[in-house]
Amino acid sequence: MKIDKGAISNPRILARRELLKFIFASPIFGAMAGLPVSGFAAPDRATPEIASQALNIFQIKKVASEKLPVPIWHFIINGSDDGKTMAANREVFDEWELRVRRMIDVSNIDTSVELFGDKFPSPIILAPIGAQQRIHPEGELATANAAAKRKQLMIASMMTSYSFTEIATIGGPLWFQIYASPHTEMMEHMLSLAESENTPVLVLTVDTSSRGNREGERWFRRQITQTGMRLGNFENYKGRMMIGDPSMTWDIIKWLRDNTRMKIVLKGIVTREDAALAVDHGVDGIIVSNHGGRQEESNRATLDSLIEVLEGTQDSIPVLIDGGFRRGTDIFKALALGARAVAIGRPQAYGLGAFGQEGVDQVLRILNTELETIMKFVGATSLSAIKRESLIRKD
């Protein structure tokens, strides 16, 4: 055997060799050979077995795709037509890069945000998703428990499986989302549900003049059991039903003002002109949204729409956003461009479908942690310190 005289004379090399001998001879190393290959797979290919193992939203999505029935999975992931709007929501984040600052004390990070007088520990909120019992037996109760555990805001859909009253008993921060209807008695019923729980904010979705052409969802709809599917908010309602109103105009704002004391937020505003009209009509806030790409095809990404909407509001009312957010850096970019908070839709459905309440909790934990991390790198110790100057758009 050839002896490396240099190694003999170098105590550091000898020490390293002794350490390697110890590691390879260790029973711990030998036991590792029996671990499944997935334990060493790249994070984007690994499959976590419990929620706490998930490193990112994409791993949780993978688990949900494997657990959920195909029709339900398509209910979650489908966009309209060819999915161009849905794709645009994701692709736009790559157009913005960070300008990071150094030598700033970031030992204490504050991610709290105030909305309509209420303070929340995070700007990440849960967007309205209906019929969650399709995804998990505990449905919105699991989602609400996860949000309440972290004191993060949840917007409950009018179309929930469990009733708004049942969801509200959990005790977490809660807003209520409704759709317009030509049948005012239906809307009055929904307003009474929200007001009976002292709900501070009503979210009116305004992008449903027609139903999006979600072909995958339509294809599998016949396989989704409708019998016995619960819609809790309609169980004690005996009037006429119609979801969405193609005749809706700005007059609905006055009708709402005359019938509720809640703050009014419009979800689905994407242009400067409509943002200005919202302010003119006394709306209290806006959620920039294209329904996750489930309505119009070939719409712009919400991050692009955000810039225009802020021009229309002139910072007179809070502007929130949803659409395509999967990373803390995505959320940071929206905050830097002027959004007050960010709502997540599909990620909460991934979490619920993959692991129930624990999955939704893990989704929130991951995104909260990623946001705090990027704030440290950029040198922003609070949301107010996140500035437009922290971003630069690629040429």
- What's the CA gap between 143 and 14, in Å, rounded? 56
Residues 6+ positions from 47 with CB-CB distance below 8 Å = 38, 59, 62, 63, 66
Instruction: Report residue 217 as tokens.
Output: 């969802």
For tokens 């922003």, name the residue. Answer: 380
Residues 54-67 as b or e (16 or more Cβ within 10 Å = b): bebbebbbbbbeee
Residues in CB range of 142: below 8 A, 6 or more apart: 132, 136, 352, 356, 357, 360
Please answer whether residues 210 and 245 qualify as being in contact, where contact means their C-beta atoms are separated by less than 8 angstroms. no
Q: Is 281 a catalytic residue?
A: no
Q: Are 58 and 326 in contact (CB under 8 A)?
A: yes
- Rounded Cα gap, residues 333 and 244, in angstroms: 32
Among the options 74, 136, 189, 291, which is catalytic? Answer: 291
Kindly provide the residue ranges of all beta strands, DSSP E only, lying in the chain, ordered along the sequence.
96-98, 113-115, 118-120, 124-126, 154-156, 174-179, 201-205, 263-267, 285-288, 319-322, 342-344, 391-393
Burial string for 339-373 (b: 16+ CB within 10 Å, else e) reads: bbbbbbbbbbbbbbbbbbbbbbbbbbbbbbebbbe
Contact by Cβ (8 Å): 388, 82: no
291, exposed or middle or buried, with CB in 10 Å at 0-12, 13-18, 19+?
Answer: buried
Buried b (16+ CB within 10 A) or exposed e, 172-189: bbbbbbbbbbeeeebbeb
Q: Which amino acid is at 370?
A: E
Q: Are the beta carbons of 179 and 44 closer than 8 angstroms?
A: no
The residues annotated with a catalytic role in the active site are: 291
